[in-house]
Amino acid sequence: MNNHCCARIFLLLFICSCFSSPTNAESKKAIQDELATIYNLIAADPAQALLSANKVMEKYAKKFTSQQQVELFSATVMAHMYSSDFSAAFDEAEKIKSIAEQEKNDYFLFKYNDAKGKIYLHMDLGQESLKYQLKAYEYFKKNTFNIDIDVEMQKTTTEGNIGYTLVQLGFYQEAIIYLEKTLDIFHKRGSLIQVASSYNNLGEAYFGLKKYSEAFDQHQKALNIRLAHNLELHSTFSYHNLGILYRVKKDYAQAESSLLKAINLRQKHHFTLGVLASQVALAEVYRDNNQKSRLKELLNNVIHSAESEDKFVTLAKAYALQRDVFQQEKSYKAALDAAIKHQATIEHVQLKKTDAHLARYLTQSSTVTKDLNILELRKNNEIQMLQVQNEKQRLSMVLTAGMSFIVILMLFLWLLQIKRNKIQNINGRLSSTITELKEIQHKLIESEKTSALTTLVAGMAHQMNTPLGVAVTSVSLINNHAEGLAKSVNNGVISKSTMHDTLNGIVKGCHLADSAMQRTSALIGKFKMISAQLETEELKRFELIDLLFAKANNTIKEFKENQPLINVHGAKLILNGYPKALEKVLYHLMKNSMEHGFGQTLSPTIDVNVRQTGDEVEILYKDNGRGIKSDLIAKVFDPFYTTSAQNNNIGLGLSIVYNLIVQLMEGRIICEPNSEFGTIFRINLPLRSG
């Protein structure tokens, strides 16, 4: 017992000495140097950057400040992002969020939103990226950073990121406003690297507006700065963009020269992703310049490298170019093989993005695990409090001396051992529960993921099968007529009536194929509406009753016969939300009532009631149609579920409603069974403060 007490006293003194020792200034400087090295590695060699980050974490684990941890996780986010491992990037971003919530630090929350914005931009989800970039920018309006940072530079960099995101979204004119502002500030601050980047991004914006002369000037300025200051890797982006501009101007010699410079420098710096991008751009130059032998050789090299490096986006572009080459050479079998590989690669890229989305939802749905972690933290805190209390009591008892001290101390240690045993039992049960919950959670997510993908693929295939079948048949018909005409021409035996019939058959086939392709295009447009990405509009304040009333009256005009009576009533509420999205919701609900509910209703009526419930607004939509059977209610929001497929309904309306309410507006919607007649939809939306 005495040895045990001595060991505890020594441990306490050791812990106190650790907490009281000051941070070593040399270690702090070493960590900053290591972080700088990692950031320089990210674009050139993301895998090596990740390895270096892990070594730094192991080496300085106990010496990291919270800010240094956040900077390190920001670097690993970018490294995973450049490696196209978006799920891992999301996990690293969540680590930043965890630190931010523990520290209650606005700068860390800014870094979290900034990281998420960059991930979504690399996933080609520009709208979602812009959402998080704007959230990050909001923290500069608060101006509550309590960390020693250059606020103006951080703010200007964020504005530059927003501008570049707008370029990727195609809002070139709006992007120029941001980018010219950041360029002016970077000039004044003498930040030449950022000045060159701003020129580069402005060049891309002008290129999108087809102002090629302005774009050329901006990229040339960026290149001059980068060459003057030996920014060799950065200069490859200028060479790459100038090569694309020369191709547009049909100056193929200059285009080839610029792109070869970009490729050589990127190979020197082991920037594999950049090398492949420039090689694809060079392949397009060879294609436009009709250099077939060079084009084939280059495409084979790109495909081999992209496959070995798992760069599927580049691989898809290479297969598409290869398909076009084979089609021009009339090597239709090879063209078909290339087209199949291109489609398979595109599907792989989309699946990888879907996996990243599911990983994000998995992170957000881990509430049970987080609650258990909180319990464990509270338990550890209780142990620490008991230890502190133990030491205080022990020190007070030393003053009383004698046997009373020994008796009391032994009694206390005995009680402490009992508590420790109880805590160990609780730990065992908690560990077992956590393991079981994680297994259940994993199985549920895998099941839902498989089910969702199966439903979407099967539904899309079913809807597109008919028009594509018609298109294939029409093309075959056109081909048969064309072959017959060619045969008659070759034999020198062709009559006017034969020519007329053949041409009529070709025209009819073209009409059929065009109609089928238009139907396919319309279906694809509807499929895109399933996504609940960020609307282009920002949050707006609007009067809810007025908006619903106006949209209902406009929508009812689309139905020429058996128009229903619309009643919109309830509390006058100002909502800070997405008015256009809410109008889409009301439109699809009314269309659902008209097409499915009012078939046999003599006096169709729709009631929309609005009321406030706490910090939410509730919209109750009710019609007096034939209603929905209780056993079908669970399926109404599923994509492609419809009870009137014979009327060319593909069953996306209520699925779009669900995504807009739940994903975009962060609300809830349920379909309730009606014991009398009709259908009831109950919508709850957050009543955000303005």
pLDDT surpassing 70 at residue 207? yes
pLDDT at res. 643: 62
Is residue 227 helix, strand or coil? helix
Inter-residue contact 683 to 585 (CB < 8 Å): yes
Domain presence at residue 666: yes
In the DSSP assignment, the letter for residue 416 is H
Domain of 550, CATH number, reads: 3.30.565.10
pLDDT value of residue 621: 92
Residue 534: Cβ within 10 Å count: 19
Express each pLDDT in 157-192 by its tens digit: 888 888 888 888 888 998 899 899 898 988 888 888
Judge if 452 and 474 occupy the same domain: no
Q: Is the pLDDT score of 199 beyond 90?
A: yes
* Higher per-residue confidence, 209 vs 381: 209
pLDDT for 466 equals 73
Task: Say if residue 12's pLDDT is above 50.
Answer: no
Q: What percent of the chain has pLDDT over 70?
A: 81
Name the most confidently modeled range: 155-169, 385-399, 664-678: 155-169
pLDDT score for 21: 40
Contacts with 533 (C-beta within 8 Å, 6 or more apart), sequence order: 125, 127, 128, 664
237 part of a folded domain: yes
249 and 324 belong to one structural domain: yes
Structure tokens at 180: 């010219």
Same domain membership, residue 504 and residue 376: no
Tokens of 361: 């939802």
Q: Which of 444, 461, 478 is the last residue of a domain?
A: 461
Cα dist from 333 to 326, 329, 340, whole Å: 8, 11, 11
Apex CA 159: angle with CA 156 and CA 161, to 5°? Answer: 115
Q: Is 639 helix (H, G, I), strand (E, B) or coil?
A: coil
Shared-domain flag, residues 237 and 354: yes
pLDDT of 525: 62
3-state secondary structure of 568: strand
Residues 6+ apart with CB under 8 A from 219: 199, 200, 203, 238, 241, 242, 245
- Cα–Cα dist 590/596, whole Å: 10
Confidence of residue 6 (pLDDT cuts 50, 70, 90): very low
Q: pLDDT tens, 29-72?
A: 777 777 878 877 775 577 888 888 888 888 877 777 888 888 88
Band (451; pLDDT cuts 50, 70, 90): low
Look at residue 204 and tell me if it is in a domain: no
> How many domains, in total, are found in the chain?
4
Q: What is the pLDDT of residue 255?
A: 92
| CATH at residue 286 | 1.25.40.10
Q: Do 81 and 356 meet the contact criterion of CB atoms below 8 Å apart?
A: no
Q: What mean pLDDT, rounded, does the chain reach?
A: 79
Average pLDDT over residues 244-256: 93
Q: Does 393 lie in the same domain as 356?
A: no
Find out whether 85 and 119 touch, Cβ atoms under 8 Å.
no
Are 236 and 313 in a shared domain?
yes
Q: Are 96 and 70 in contact (CB under 8 A)?
A: yes
Render the burial of 625-650: b for 16+ CB within 10 Å, e for the rest: bebbeeeeeeebbebbbbeeeeeebb
Strand partners, 79: none
pLDDT of residue 523: 66
Give the residue, 125 or 291, on which the prediction is more confident. Answer: 291
Which one, of 150, 223, 238, 155, lies nearest residue 192 by Cα?
223
pLDDT (tens digit per residue) in 628-669 = 887 777 777 777 666 655 555 666 778 888 888 888 888 999
Q: When comparing pLDDT for 389 and 416, which is higher?
A: 416
Query: Which residue from 113, 211, 199, 214 is spatially nearest to 164, judged by alpha carbons?
Result: 199
Does residue 86 carry a pLDDT above 60?
A: yes
Whether 450 is covered by a domain: the verdict is yes
In whole angstroms, give the CA distance from residue 65 to residue 50.
Answer: 20
The phi, psi pair for 173, rounded to 5°, reads -65, -45
User: What ranges in 529-597 are assigned the alpha helix state H?
Assistant: 544-556, 579-592
Q: Is the confidence at residue 458, as pLDDT, over 60?
A: no
Q: Are residues 371 and 359 in the same domain?
A: no
The per-residue pLDDT for 454 is 57
> Does 489 lie in the same domain as 385?
no
Q: Which strand ranges, in their side-by-side order, compose the sheet holding 616-623?
A: 565-570, 605-613, 616-623, 679-686, 668-672
pLDDT for the residue 453: 52
- pLDDT-based confidence at residue 241 (cuts at 50, 70, 90): very high
Residue 576's domain spans which residues?
A: 540-686
Residue 553 lies in a domain: yes
Residue 193 lies in a domain: no
pLDDT at 364 over 60: no
Reduce the DSSP state of residue 124 to 3 states and report it. coil
Q: What is the mean pLDDT of residues 660-681?
A: 84
Is residue 529 predicted with pLDDT exceeding 60? no
Q: Are residues 545 and 680 in the same domain?
A: yes
Side-chain-facing half-sphere of 654: CA atoms under 13 Å: 21
Domain annotation covers residue 210: no
CB-count exposure of residue 438 (10 Å: 0-12, 13-18, 19+): middle
The answer to whether residue 281 sits within a structural domain is yes
- Same domain (yes/no): 562, 444: no
**Closest alpha carbon to 549 in 613, 594, 606, 592:** 606
479 and 446 fall within a common domain: no
Contact 297, 286 (CB under 8 A): no
Quick: pLDDT tens for 430-441.
Answer: 888 888 777 776
For 474-525, give the DSSP string.
HHHHHHHHHHHHHHHHHHT---HHHHHHHHHHHHHHHHHHHHHHHHHHHHHH
Question: pLDDT category, 460, cuts 50, 70, 90?
Answer: low
Average pLDDT over residues 243-255: 93
Same domain for 385 and 318: no
With beta carbons less than 8 A apart as the criterion, state whether 608 and 553 touch. Answer: no
* Residue bearing tokens 């060799």: 232
Out of 528, 551, 582, a domain closes at 528
Q: Which of 461, 478, 501 is the last residue of a domain?
A: 461
Half-sphere exposure of 660 (CA within 13 A, CB side): 23
For the segment 580-605, what is each residue's pLDDT rounded down to a tens digit?
888 889 888 888 888 877 877 788 89
User: Does 254 have pLDDT greater than 90?
Assistant: yes
Distances in Å between the Cα of 192 and the Cα atoms of 155, 187, 195 are 17, 7, 5
Bigger pLDDT: 395 vs 22: 395
pLDDT at 651: 66
pLDDT (average), residues 126-147: 79
**For range 454-479, the mean pLDDT:** 70
